[in-house]
Structure 1
């Protein structure tokens, strides 16, 4: 299992790299000013950072309880990414609609695009992170 410091490093690095990619890309894609999209992305990233820590901790506890191990198979990586993005979609939908002054349907379409991007990004990032910083086996959760 990962320690607290490692989980914090993982969550913060995930969000910083994601913001650097998504802000200019989605400002261009959705034809909104970079500042507006940047602030929205920052609000979303702030919420996601806190949720990332909690979600990964809960997911690892569930894996440890069910399997006795926190290593993820391909199927578990896909499930992990999908569940994380689904919960963020629900949490952030009203913020997107309000901030960009768009309908909930338009915000949903935008959020689905963000979710698709972040689902792929979460899969790639987590795999890379686990490769660079392998989780320790047999330790009690921190």
Structure 2
């Protein structure tokens, strides 16, 4: 699976599983109930889904220009850190306003979410690539053999 279909399936699955994990934890920590926490999780998910699509578009464009296009552990860590770091900058004000908490508490909440989602993103992407194969941007370009030379 490649192109836009891959991006949509990847992003929707990632966010759906994320909501399943986050909503009960927010309900428990902030005592707001599952409906309130699920609504917040869905808003966070919508923001994250939009960021996911934008970030992956840019990341894959960058990746396609690299000399080596293999998705190494280093590249996967860079991907996860870039995605979650950018999302943190977006979500702290949202969490603070939604839960009516100060920005430091919102940052602490987001850091906890970051730690979870950092490892979740790393594992999810690895499994997703194993199931659906890596995108074109992560495939090595075949090098033509020189005429008359043995490989």
Q: Could you state the TM-score of these two structures normalised by the residue count of structure 1?
A: 0.89
Secondary structure of the residue that 2:133 maps to in structure 1? coil
Give 1:36 deviation, angstroms.
2.1
Give deviations 1:59-101, integer Å, cap 9, x for gaps: 11111102352x3101111111111011111111111001000
Gap regions ≥5 residues in structure 2: 142-151
Structure-to-structure mapping, 1:1-142, within 5 angstroms: 2-67=2-67, 69=69, 71-135=70-134, 136=136, 137=139
Larger Rg: 2
Q: Which moved more, 1:81-90 or 1:130-139?
A: 130-139
Q: Which has the higher contact order (CA 8 A, sep 6+)?
A: 1
Give deviations 1:21-58, integer Å, cap 9, x for gaps: 12112322343322222111111100111111111121
Give deviations 1:87-123, integer Å, cap 9, x for gaps: 1111111110010000011111001101111111101
Gap regions ≥5 residues in structure 1: none
Aligned length: 138
Runs of 4+ residues deviating >4 angstroms: none
Aligned to 2:147: none
Q: Could you state the TM-score of these two structures normalised by the residue count of structure 2?
A: 0.84
Distance 1:67 1:117 in 2: 32
